[in-house]
Chains A and B, each alone.
Chain A
Amino acid sequence: MAKYLLLKHYRGGPAPVTDMPQFDRWTPEEFSAHVRYMKDFAARLESSGEFVDSQALSPEGTFVRYDGEGRPPVTDGPFAETKDLIAGWMVIDVDSHERALELAAELSAAPGQGGAPIREWLELRPFMTDPPTVTE
């Protein structure tokens, strides 16, 4: 089994195939169908034993760094114009890279306006693993 991170971006990545969804411009029913699709997707992965974790992030964050002994942390942001903005993630544990691609594509097919798949780009990142016990 191998773990993968499916990263969902508010912004960033390749040029979008469909417009960035503006949920508050959809009908409530279209939005509900979109949310339900993602919940059902997670529930299916749980029952297939491939689900690890899923979290959503607030759109606004703060950059922070150390600024020397006895000094308060330095903060910067939030930046409304940041190019890349992460919306959330799902972690899956699957048998193969192909399976990970298949699942990412399925999640990207969540319905949008008029029920058509939104086809958003999801970033797929393999987790670094522990070194194997048997190496020779």
Chain B
Amino acid sequence: MLRSLTPGVLGVLVRRGADFAAAEDAVQDALVEALRVWPDDPPREPRAWLVTVAWRRFLDTARADAARRRREDLVDEEPAPGPVPEADDTLRLYFLCAHPSLTPSSAVALTLRAVGGLTTRQIARAYLVPEPTMAQRISRAKRTVTGVRFDRPGDVTTVLRVLYLVFNEGYSGDVDLAAEAIRLARQLATVVDHPEVAGLLALMLLHHARRASRTGPDGDLVPLADQDRRRWDTGLIAEGVEILQTALSRDRLGEFQAQAAVAALHADAPTAAETDWVQIVEWYDELVRLTDSPVVRLNRAVAVGEADGPRAGLAALAALDDTLPRHTAAAAYLHERDGDWSTAARLYAEAARRATNLAERDHLTRQAARLNTR
């Protein structure tokens, strides 16, 4: 696949001294050229071909710029050919595109373009913004990271956060961002050995495995407990579980591994009733310890409600800020399980008013309607 070669090629150009923005443009040009030429004349070494064409394109542009500005400070010394440490180049590019100086939305856009090799138009469509808006976002991001030097190793968790954001965006446009995030995480896992990279990859695979069952025929949300488990992708689940087990055996727990462990326990239950909620609560305890995140505490309260009964869940929930996203929906669910249908219906309706997306709003409205009309 052509796009999988992008980060390595771009990495080579940057390492040879091309500034990032110009190198990125040159690689996009080379990709376009490849699409034109390769069908009739496939190269023996696709990656080397792309490096050659992109480097030439970069030099042409640099020379033209230099001539125009009557400056001759950019010389066209072709570096000596030699073994290219591809993994390092690719990894450096991931770090660059997730650099802490970038805002999350810029890091996401730049990663999809420079590492993922998507076009600006595809990225714009995926995020439902006009193409010129996305073009500006990307070129501002490129300017921000141009000149960043890698004199110390980057922090892989910044890269993981960017990939997690891409994955969570789902597939609203014509690019499947979830699948793209998985591809990028797989590629990252081949160039860096880190249990949290494996943890994130496992988490993505385990969630992706349930995708077909998450929506009904009309696009309605189907909650985990009601999903048709026969539609879960057992191949993806097996792969995710294996990657997770290998990561966990290294005894360097992180939040993505812990989240993946929760997902694996759900995937492992033949029916919703057979879910091992006690173990899930234990993993949430680990997550609270690792992240101290209120959202994690909220999820933990729901799990406690399943493990120890709805009253215990409501007690755990009562300790949390009730303006947290989904707090009201969780309370509604636990009250319903406790048999208090009128409170549950009122809370479902209130949660629907507070919902931030239509699918959730409609789902919560339907829950309220179900209890009010039973």
Which residues on A are within 8 Å of B, measured CB to CB? 23-28, 30-32, 35-36, 39, 56, 58-60
Is A31 a contact of B366 with CB atoms below 8 Å? yes
- CB A9 to nearest CB in B, in angstroms, measures 16
A-B contact pairs, 12 of them (CB 8 A): A23-B369, A24-B348, A24-B349, A24-B365, A24-B368, A25-B372, A25-B373, A28-B373, A30-B369, A31-B369, A39-B218, A58-B355
Chain A contacts for B354, CB-based, 8 A = 58
Chain B contacts for A23, CB-based, 8 A = 352, 365, 368-369
Distance of A23 Cα from B373 Cα, bound (Å): 11
Is B218 a contact of A28 with CB atoms below 8 Å? no
With A24-B352, A39-B219, A58-B355 known, 4 other A-B pairs at CB within 8 A are A23-B369, A28-B370, A36-B218, A39-B218
Is A27 a contact of B220 with CB atoms below 8 Å? no
Is A25 a contact of B218 with CB atoms below 8 Å? no
Which residues on B are within 8 Å of A, measured CB to CB? 218-220, 345, 348-349, 352-356, 358, 361-362, 365-366, 368-370, 372-373
Distance of A83 Cα from B187 Cα, bound (Å): 55
- CB A30 to nearest CB in B, in angstroms, measures 8
Distance of A124 Cα from B370 Cα, bound (Å): 34
Is A28 a contact of B358 with CB atoms below 8 Å? no
Closest to A33 in B: B218
Is A35 a contact of B218 with CB atoms below 8 Å? yes
Distance of A135 Cα from B368 Cα, bound (Å): 57
- Among A25, A30, A39: residue with most chain B CB under 10 A: A25
Is A32 a contact of B372 with CB atoms below 8 Å? no
Closest to B361 in A: A56
Distance of A25 Cα from B372 Cα, bound (Å): 6
- CB A115 to nearest CB in B, in angstroms, measures 15
Contacts A24-B345, A24-B352 given; indicate if A35 touches B369 (C-beta within 8 A): no
Is A27 a contact of B369 with CB atoms below 8 Å? yes
Chain B contacts for A27, CB-based, 8 A = 369-370, 373
- CB A69 to nearest CB in B, in angstroms, measures 26
Q: Which listed residue (B358, B369, B373) contacts A56, Cβ 8 A?
A: B358
Is B219 a contact of A25 with CB atoms below 8 Å? no
Chain B contacts for A36, CB-based, 8 A = 218
Contacts A35-B362, A59-B353 given; indicate if A24 touches B218 (C-beta within 8 A): no
Chain B contacts for A25, CB-based, 8 A = 369, 372-373
Chain A contacts for B365, CB-based, 8 A = 23-24, 31
- CB A111 to nearest CB in B, in angstroms, measures 14
Chain A contacts for B361, CB-based, 8 A = 56
- CB B172 to nearest CB in A, in angstroms, measures 13
Chain A contacts for B348, CB-based, 8 A = 24
Closest to A27 in B: B373
- CB A34 to nearest CB in B, in angstroms, measures 10
The 3 closest A-B pairs by CB, nearest first: A24-B368, A24-B349, A28-B366
- CB B346 to nearest CB in A, in angstroms, measures 9
Distance of A30 Cα from B373 Cα, bound (Å): 11
- CB A59 to nearest CB in B, in angstroms, measures 6
Chain B contacts for A32, CB-based, 8 A = 218, 220, 366
Chain A contacts for B358, CB-based, 8 A = 56
Closest to A53 in B: B128
Distance of A25 Cα from B219 Cα, bound (Å): 22
- CB B185 to nearest CB in A, in angstroms, measures 31
Q: Which listed residue (A24, A35, A39, A58) contacts B372, Cβ 8 A?
A: A24
